[in-house]
Structure 1
């Protein structure tokens, strides 16, 4: 049976067909903005109102299809775009990460981590490298799975097991992290925009899920390693190389080793200087009472991360020879911005949709009425949170982009949960675990075809069904582990980030 026929079978085939019929996410937001315009007109005509939960003010639904609405849409269009919180956060942090990526630092660090791992722990090293690879954003999907397959092949293990581990760590483990990444900045910005509909003093920062995501790295890495060694590889059996190709995994060169060493030294010096600045008595990076939550330090973590990656990237590049002159640094930054062009275009449309939703007061109306409904049926605790996570997981099967999906969901669910007294950063964490877990089983993941192409390089009979069947155990296990971890944090009141607990008053 050919691959096309296989792909069309079953539930996954149906999901793929439906998803492929959806327009580009840019036009999804355009359509949603148009829908908001029409609904605002209808609600305005019937005189719908809502009491603002924060101020007690009675708000009318404002009609976007009116002279007032037209004036607002025209006058606010550029401000909606340039003032959209995630835009500056993401572009700023990617300037730094772009230098580290384009100089070759990230790929060398990934290769070094896997090659130097003992054979007994190589699977766990690959999962951990995949999780950490989200520093390179989507570039990790291109680098890590093929590299992991080659590592397994080199040490005499089944390459598809290595590929599976690499893809699972990179895709399903995408939201877990050891340090702050662009994903944290993106989602925090969108969450803050949505939270402003209810309370414009509530701001979610890139570190607000850090404790939870850092804790999850250990559990996800262990689970991923066990699934690979105990389920995936035994199922695949012994690998027979039918292609007879010479596959050689290049060692890290002496120059790259020196570059990596100098990058580590530069990183340690940067952190040491930062620590001195933060803990110096009377430091302006702390708050007035001398604490860190909140503080200038945590509130400005993005520029600090940007400077960190520029520092280590330049140290590596100058040593490894990928930076020959100072002009190369802004060139690498510019190249990283080219990679973000699709995101920038998407944000233009998403910013208009969210702004219209807020200005019309439809967001407040929907949040208040939804909160009252769930309260009336006594569904306000863990069942509601878990149900929300399952909904996010299902939606991810047809909307692969996490930022696009969150930009759709946050304006509806963040205000609603805030009215139920849940902290928006906690709800963001509940979304992230669902979105991340199902990244590797949605046929709409554009990198699935890349991974499939690598699979077919080792096994010509492999198809989409083969890949999905290998990924499903990881997806289910990771989601289950994250839900348990979320429940533990919920019940015990463990902070999700600095000063962030489940409830607003926390």
Structure 2
């Protein structure tokens, strides 16, 4: 596609690739809903544990040398465990409380309109030469609003590009690339950090390792900068030249924020800055309880309490904005908007119930340890114990993401296997988590399993009536290749140069 107003025949290679994606779509559509997938997997673990246990299989725990037998869930002890642990597996699942707490604050800010106004303000005020960079960065930062970013940022970006005389589909692609392919990166701690860290901690229990929401923070901060530059390059040097000059007309125009919204954003900013200043003072204060006994920050109350701190930050700025625009007129309105945000999390809560059982069964039966040790031994036998094994894991995850869009669901599947396996080889679970994150995000924008693909296509048709899945994939594939390539290089650079991925977090245990 070179111009939305001209009929062109896509190259033969593109047709072949689209046939491949069509096959992926057919296979993916046959997969059950993620909730049922975990139900089926739990049943499989029950039966598989019985089979392996009947063979008398044992495994030596890599940390303490204890000989562990595979325990069967098809037994009296197994039945007791299934019935007595079900509620504890669910309520004690680490990601559940972390993510719901985060969404109370972020959801409030999103429901009162703060996040959308901040996005428009950021991009519209950027110099014309930096608009592409602003769109990409705002898209990446948009994961603060979780999946809501998919329906907010791309159409705004398209309208911004159209407003300044550029091709709107280039803006749509740039916004979608930031939101989708850059979903896991951010300058601040988000619900994604809390969710993945909780799953990683559950998977690393056997090694007494806790993965915190800040363990990938330095890497993700750096990722925002690199992905912004790369995304802007792909947009301006590859995508936009292919699109050519847009000759169509649209009825919609981008409205700048109203004076009231501008005032509300200013009040929210001032409130946020006041909170940050107070936080800095409380941390820097001599003998601060926010530090550890030695006066350091690794570990400390500050880092372990980053989720409540972030929650308070978003509540403060959300309330400041909501009160100014009169969406919050009484204290009753605050829990009302929080409740609306929690309604959006209903699907996640249901999914976690099933995922928690699967992970708990995998751990209790000792199948997790057995698979991890067996996998580690296999990698050693083929001499893939170094970073090559991690890169292989990245590429495998990127392919699996074409079939399983949900990042939390996929990590809940992979973490119990790969975290213990790589931990057996000496790798820090937080490092393995970082490797997972770059792979999972990069292919979000080309997988037919992404439910927002249909939404993005609808936005595209506003500017090009002939646009279809092939149009979208041809636009987004360069971003996937560029983001994944740069991210792999960045991952290797951090590992080889000994740069911490987060506070006190290196490559090895």
Q: Shared fold (TM-score greater than 0.5)?
A: yes
The 3 A distance-change label for structure 1 pair 9 and 385 is closer
The answer for the alignment partner of 1:157 in structure 2 is: 166
Where does structure 1 lack aligned partners over 5 or more consecutive residues? Answer: none
For residue 326 of structure 1, give the secondary structure of its aligned residue in structure 2: coil
| 1:193 aligned onto 2:205 | no
Larger mean CA deviation between 457-466 and 278-287 belongs to 278-287
Q: How does 1:262-301 map to 2 (within 5 A)?
A: 262-301=267-306
Q: Which of 319, 333, 356 is equivalent to 2:324?
A: 319
* Cross-structure match for 1:34: 43
Residue equivalent to 2:476: 471
1:70 correspondence with 2:79: yes
Where in structure 1 do 4 or more consecutive aligned residues deviate above 6 Å? none
Task: Give the one of 478, 487, 504 matched to 1:499.
Answer: 504
Within the candidate set 438, 443, 464, 1:438 is matched to 443
Residue 369 of structure 1 is matched in structure 2 by 374
Give the alignment's TM-score, normalised by structure 2. Answer: 0.96
Give aligned pairs, total: 496
Q: 2:54 aligns with which of 26, 36, 45?
A: 45
- Residue correspondence of structure 1 range 349-428 to structure 2 within 5 A: 349-428=354-433
Q: Secondary structure at the match of 2:115?
A: helix
The answer as to whether partners of 1:357 and 1:363 remain within 8 angstroms in 2 is yes
Partner SS for 1:50? strand
Which of 239, 246, 254 is equivalent to 1:249?
254
Please give the residue correspondences for 1:5-154 in structure 2 after superposition, counting only pairs within 5 Å.
10-154=19-163
> 1: distance between equivalents of 2:33 and 2:340?
24
SS in 1 for 2:462: helix
What do the CA deviations read for 1:475-504 (whole angstroms, capped 9, x no partner)?
Answer: 000000000000101111100000000000
SS in 1 for 2:68: strand
Instruction: Render the CA deviation track for 1:256-299: whole Å, top value 9, x for unaligned.
Output: 11111011111111011111111111111111111101111101
Are 1:235 and 2:257 matched, yes or no?
no
The C-alpha deviation readout for 1:381-425, integer Å capped at 9, x for no partner, is 111010000000000000000000000000000000111000000
How far the C-alpha of 1:324 sits from its partner, in A, is: 1.3
Per-residue CA deviations over 1:218-254 (Å, capped at 9, x if unaligned) read: 110011111111111110011111xx44221111011
Counterpart CA distance in 1 for 2:481 and 2:70 is 42
User: Partners of 1:173 and 1:15 in 2: how far apart?
Assistant: 22
Query: Structure 2 unaligned runs (5+)?
Result: 1-6, 8-14
Structure 1 position 8, deviation (Å): 11
The CA RMSD measured in Å over matched residues stands at 1.3
TM-aligned CA distance change 1:9 to 1:118, over 3 Å: closer
Q: Which residue does the alignment assign to 2:458?
A: 453
CA spacing shift, 1:459–1:268, aligned 2, 3 Å: same
- Contact 1:52–1:58 (CA under 8 A) maintained in structure 2: yes
C-alpha contact (below 8 Å) 2:250/2:463 kept by paired residues: no
Q: Distance in 2 between matches of 1:455 and 1:86?
A: 35
**Equivalent pair of 1:363/1:411 in contact (CA under 8 Å):** yes
Question: Any residues of structure 2 matched to 1:168-183 within 5 Å, and which?
Answer: 168-183=177-192
CA distance in 2 between partners of 1:31 and 1:230 (Å): 46
SS of residue paired to 1:293 = coil
Per the normalisation by structure 1, the TM-score is 0.97
The 8 Å contact of residues 7 and 465 in structure 1, kept in 2 or not, is answered as no
Partner of 1:203: 210
Matched residues in 1 for 2:18 and 2:185: separation?
32
2-side partners of 1:9 and 1:432: how far apart? 25
Following the alignment from structure 1 to structure 2, what is the Cα–Cα distance between the partners of residues 217 and 362? 38
Alpha-carbon distance between aligned partners in 2 of 1:322 and 1:168, rounded to the nearest angstrom: 32
Distance 1:60 1:226 in 2: 54
Aligned partners of 1:7 and 1:13 also within 8 Å: no
The residue that corresponds to 1:225 in the other structure is 232
SS of the residue aligned with 2:433? helix
Structure 2 SS opposite 1:458: coil
- Mapped to 2, the partners of 1:373 and 1:9 lie a distance apart of 35
CA deviations 1:15-68 (Å, max 9, x no partner) are 001100110000111111111111110111111111122222211111001111
